[in-house]
């Protein structure tokens, strides 16, 4: 079946001598993986490797068998021309980290327009703003809504947050319960959005602790989740 769809590049992995395996999150078909043969050696081919940088937004024409196998890409062109996402050092580190997080968390080959638009809108926001120190934290927190484990906020005034159950509670019931300053900073994130994110004042240590908290939260709720290797680069950039 030939499909015309918008898509966001999640990863591109070299295969054999000159091939590229590209994972994309598509608007119409969810997660899809494409084999691009000879792209790394051909200078006159249809596709340029620059098209498949992480988080690039594309318009695709593809043949989908929808059998969980590698799909065939007929055409691809840039949908949104980023101005800073791949040239700003800090943003590039975020892109590397976020793309690895998406690779480790999104598995479903099914349409999810809400998730697609969330990714599309937040990457456009990141490209067009300069105050982004807390972006990755809010991005990860809000992403859990589309992955099915967003915190239950009805008891937000209680003293503990239980990472295992994703709820606020008034007493500690297991080793995954947090309180104190870390909990206060989590509540700050829960109460903000991307337009007001710069109002959340965090120190480097606060930011590092919150990121570790969110990664642990993901690890508890996604089977076989692995922390991104690019986490080290992100820490270096912000330190």
pLDDT digits (tens, 9 = 90+) for 3-30: 999 999 999 999 988 899 999 999 999 9
Residue 239 has what pLDDT? Answer: 66
111-124: pLDDT as tens digits: 999 999 999 999 99
For residue 232, the model assigns a pLDDT of: 86
Whole-prediction pTM value? 0.94
Rounded Cα distance between 5 and 218, Å, is 29
Ranges of H-type helices in 106-203: 113-128, 135-147, 180-190
Phi, psi of 159 (to 5 degrees): -80, -25
* Domain with 59 in it: 1-81
Which tokens hold the place of 126?
């990141």
| CA 92 – CA 115 distance, rounded (Å) | 22
Using 50, 70 and 90 to split pLDDT, how confident is the model at 164? very high
Same domain, residue pair 102 and 216: yes
Shared domain check, 75 and 121:
no
Average pLDDT, the chain: 93
Residues 140 and 212 in one domain: yes
Same domain, 4 and 108: no
Q: Is 27 in the same domain as 110? A: no
Q: How many domains does the chain have?
A: 2
């Amino acid at each position: 079946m030939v499909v015309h769809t918008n898509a966001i590049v999640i990863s591109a992995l070299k295969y054999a001598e000159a091939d590229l395996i590209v994972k994309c999150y598509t608007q119409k078909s969810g997660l899809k993986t494409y084999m691009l043969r000879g792209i790394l050696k051909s200078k006159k081919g249809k596709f340029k490797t620059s098209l498949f940088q992480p988080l690039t937004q594309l318009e695709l024409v593809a043949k989908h068998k929808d059998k969980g196998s590698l799909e065939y890409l007929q055409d691809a062109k840039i949908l949104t021309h980023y101005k800073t996402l791949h040239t700003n050092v800090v943003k590039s580190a975020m892109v590397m980290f976020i793309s690895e997080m998406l690779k480790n968390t999104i598995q479903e080959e099914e349409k999810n327009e809400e998730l697609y638009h969330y990714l599309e809108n937040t990457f456009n926001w990141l490209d067009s703003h300069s105050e982004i120190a807390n972006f990755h934290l809010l991005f990860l927190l809000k992403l859990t809504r589309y992955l099915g484990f967003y915190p239950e906020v009805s008891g937000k005034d209680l003293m503990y947050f239980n990472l295992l159950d994703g709820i606020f509670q008034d007493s500690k019931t297991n080793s995954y319960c947090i309180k104190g300053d870390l909990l206060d900073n989590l509540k700050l994130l829960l109460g903000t959005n991307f337009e007001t994110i710069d109002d959340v004042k965090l120190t480097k240590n606060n930011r590092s602790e919150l990121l570790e908290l969110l990664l642990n939260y993901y690890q508890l709720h996604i089977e076989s989740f692995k922390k991104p290797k690019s986490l080290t680069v992100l820490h270096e950039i912000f330190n």
